[in-house]
Amino acid sequence: MASANTSSAPQPVLVPAIPLSEIFPWAVFAGLLLLLVIYFVGAEQGATSMMHGRTIHEFVHDGRHLLGFPCH
């Protein structure tokens, strides 16, 4: 019976390099989107309100409390 155990070293896993020029636009987009979300959750009320009415405030009301933003 032949032995199936061969002594070969495991091959290293090669991770493809992604150039920064391909990541940067997506990082900027994600950062701006995050800032917009933080604005609407944290500051969209009262004197700093960009939208008329309380629709956005009521929509994100529970999220405000969950993230620790003061509301009322």
Return d(Cα 34, Cα 40) in angstroms, integer. 10
Return d(Cα 46, Cα 5) in angstroms, integer. 73
Of residues 31 and 40, which shows the higher confidence score? 31
At 58 the pLDDT is 75
- Which residues neighbour 57 within 8 Å (Cβ) at sequence distance 6 or greater? 44, 45, 49
Mean pLDDT throughout 30-34?
96
Does 5 have pLDDT greater than 90?
no
> How far are the Cα atoms of 1, 2, 4, 66 from residue 48, in angstroms, in the given order?
81, 79, 72, 21
At 10 the pLDDT is 87
Does 26 have pLDDT greater than 90?
yes
